[in-house]
Amino acid sequence: MESVFEIIAEPNRRAILGLLVSSQQSVGEIERRLRMPQPTVSKHLRVLREAGFVESTVDAQRRLYRLKPEPLQELDDWLTPFRRFWSSHIDALERHLDRMDQSMPTKKKGRGRR
């Protein structure tokens, strides 16, 4: 499981990252909130830790896991050339913005184009 990409290919791992983005969590809290068996949580945390996505500190019997930014920044960097690509394709960009509009709270819809 070399790359950043393989790490985040696993849905449960993405869920864990999504949890940790707001604040640090103990294994038990993750287990509870994601309704995942404890060994599964521990295993995924191990993978994430070894890949540098998270780090942990000891709090008595608990371990608190928190997010580390670097690996996801690497992913962000990888996207750079593609961003250049799609900003040159304005039509597709507009379709994308429309998608964002649709998923918005019907307030002040549309972006006044055309």
Partner DNA sequence: TTTGTATATGCCTTGACAGGTATATGCCTG
Partner DNA sequence: CAGGCATATACCTGTCAAGGCATATACAAA
Interface ranges with DNA (CB under 7 A): 1, 6, 9-10, 12, 26-28, 31, 37-47, 56, 60-63
Which three-class secondary structure state does DSSP give residue 14?
helix
Minimal distance, residue 105 CB to a copy of itself, in Å: 17
Using CA atoms, how far apart are residues 106 and 7, in angstroms rounded to an integer?
36
Binding of a copy of itself by 6 (CB under 8 A):
yes
Dihedral of CA atoms 98, 104, 106, 110 in degrees, nearest 10, equals -30
Minimal distance, residue 52 CB to a copy of itself, in Å: 11
Strand order in the sheet with 54-59: 25-26, 62-67, 54-59
Cβ closer to DNA: 46 or 111? 46
Cβ closer to a copy of itself: 14 or 38? 14
